[in-house]
A and B are shown apart, each in its own frame.
Chain A
Amino acid sequence: MTDWKTLQSDLAEQGYVAGAELAMALHLSLALGRPLLLEGAAGVGKTEIAHCLAAVKGTNLIRLQCYEGLDAAQAIYEWNYQRQLLAIRAAAEAGETGRDVEKRIFSEEYLLQRPLLKAIRQPIAPVLLIDEIDRADEEFEAYLLEILSDFKISIPELGTLDAISRPYVVLTSNGTRDLSDALRRRCLFAHVDYPDRDTELAILARRCPGVERQLAGQIVSFVQSLRKEDLEKKPGVAEMLDFAMALLGFGINDLASDPVVLQVALATLLKTRNDRAAIPTEMAQRLAGRAA
């Protein structure tokens, strides 16, 4: 058994069923020390893989959620101004000289570590998850590139902080904008797609062991046929699991048995008004009948 297959089975133990392409990309990213860029539709388990990787490696997960307007103070570091001011006040009362105070308040003790700085200052290499990088601004992307290439952060008042350990970096993107070529070049790439039937069954069996085999088959067939419909927002794996949990909660063991319950449970799969309108009760029944 080769390394990447070991990784694949380790992930499976943690409850993540990864396809060959993803497992290989992840293995190489660990082996080569390169960040891994995951792209794919929402709800296919891009974020989840970082959680499972952290569990496999037995380390922390540090997560940086990107958003428009994310800046260095939120992503890298910030001085703890309040504490600094308090220290200055206290020092003034104690009669300390300016030099000493200055040295003290610009030490690491007064530094607030934000995810990126925190990730490189861990004694054991953590998993750094940079979630939805496409939402951050392009300037931030450039900054990120610099950190991902040399794992050093320079703070003007303090000097350069080197990495104690190199984090395993996982970036995810939903494709709301094109990422820069430079970032793509720096990363290994894997596209995460909706799983095929067998994989999805395996995921369902791992995540919701309470679902009976017959119902599990129905749920997966139903969701997969729903994905083929013309929907605005296709249900992802997470939605499928919610759906299964909902059915489990209703105590149903045949999808086609109760139209009312099925329609209610559809709320976990269809998230926009148009999509709800696109799948009326009869159609849901027909799909469920075919799945059963």
Chain B
Amino acid sequence: MSKVTRFAARDPGPAARLAGFLAHLRAQGLPLGVAETGMALTALAHVDAANPHEARLALRAVCTGSLEEAAQFDLLFDSFWMNGGRVREKIMPGTSAGGPKPGRNSRAAEEGRATGRGKADSPDDGQDGDSPADADGNGNGKLIASAIANLMKKDLRELVHADDIRAAELVALRLGRALRDRRSRRRRAARTGSAIDLRRTLRQSLQTGGEPLRLMRRRRPDRPLRICALCDVSGSMVIYARPFLAFLAGLMRADPDSDAYLFHTRLVRITGALRDDDPLRALGRITLLADGFGGGSRIGASLAQFARTYARRFVNGRTVVMILSDGYDSADPGDLGGALAELRQRGCRIIWLNPLKGWKDYAPVARGMAAALPHLDLFAAAATLNDLAALEKELARL
């Protein structure tokens, strides 16, 4: 892994290589422009660029803007400069489709243009000095995973169609509107508004020698609720994954403030991936993120992790946490109750949408579900997009 990539003799030089690296980062979804390429070159001039460690530190400071990106950067740096590229490039075929023009149909594009140099349909054969241990060590990739792991893998793009997403977008738009249309009871200072703000008008009149020339106004500000959706993709939920994932994708595209997560045995934030321009490519990116999709579920642990990490940043009194799950938890149900109670303390509202609830004679007997019930603001059935659409009225009442 520590071997430095050997570039071809006809390679035009360091500047072009760096431009190539930035293009490589861009293709993997880092938001970098031409200005960053220039800045990266300047940055390298200020450090010992021949030292890989220094070059890595410098480029990371320039090219990344958040912790997630910084983590991603290290892998991408290795893959480009440190000759570790073949394995990693291949495990991200879905994201490499963004060529010069933004690809609208990732299916067609990805087959021809996947950037990995290895064989697309078989494990790497360990040539070029790549040790077999290396391939094993990175065994979370789609193409190098073992046969057993492959059974667990589902490509979400096979489950969800573009039409679904469009329909879901409409539903999400309506739900979002139902939640968002809130107005405060109090009035606050605003540029335009129905009432005159006497206090500020007087204060402003000081500037004009006591003449109230400018009238300040007040209005009721909007107090929109943000949706934060957590979708269960464990084995028992696979049949419902299609409407739910389409819904998440639609939600992300319809409402720029919303947030989405997947969980099975662990939790992944998919907000960034779902906002990809191409809806199908977005699902491709999630497939990679949701490694272990269709396996067991640990709802309690995932929610506790959510409450402790992301919720601190993104959940407040104006958030609706929407959990899409059937409540079958393989771990202790006490965890689930505790996690929800902790979440509750942040002042958010919690909705649980359970696909099983629509069944005749359903009772929330799954122990996890029973532990969760006292903490929920709304417990409703939802198995299809239509069910979700029907929630509009309920949400407006929250």
Contact = CB atoms under 8 A, between A and B. Distances in A.
A140 interface: no
B47 interface: yes
B313 A190 contact: no
Contacts of A84: 207
Contacts of B69: 189
Most buried by A among B62, B65, B206: B65
A185 B33 contact: yes
Nearest to A26: B61
A39 B66 contact: yes
Interface of B is mostly: helix
A187 B65 contact: yes
A282 to B, nearest CB: 22
A25 B58 CA distance: 7
Contacts of B206: 81, 85
Interface of A is mostly: helix
A94 interface: no
Contacts of A185: 31, 33, 36, 65
A28 B36 CA distance: 13
B181 interface: no
Contacts of B109: none
Given A28-B46, A32-B39, A191 B61 contact: no
Most buried by B among A28, A29, A181, A187: A28
Interface in A175-189: 175-178, 181, 184-185, 187-189
Given A32-B46, A177-B313, A181-B31, A189 B64 contact: yes
Interface residues of A, number: 32
A79 interface: yes
B207 A81 contact: yes
Interface of B: 31, 33, 36, 39, 42-43, 46-48, 53-54, 57-58, 60-62, 64-67, 69-70, 206-207, 209, 312-314
Given A4-B47, A181-B65, 17 more contacts: A2-B54, A3-B47, A24-B47, A25-B61, A27-B47, A28-B61, A31-B42, A79-B207, A81-B207, A84-B207, A176-B312, A178-B313, A178-B314, A188-B61, A189-B61, A189-B66, A189-B69
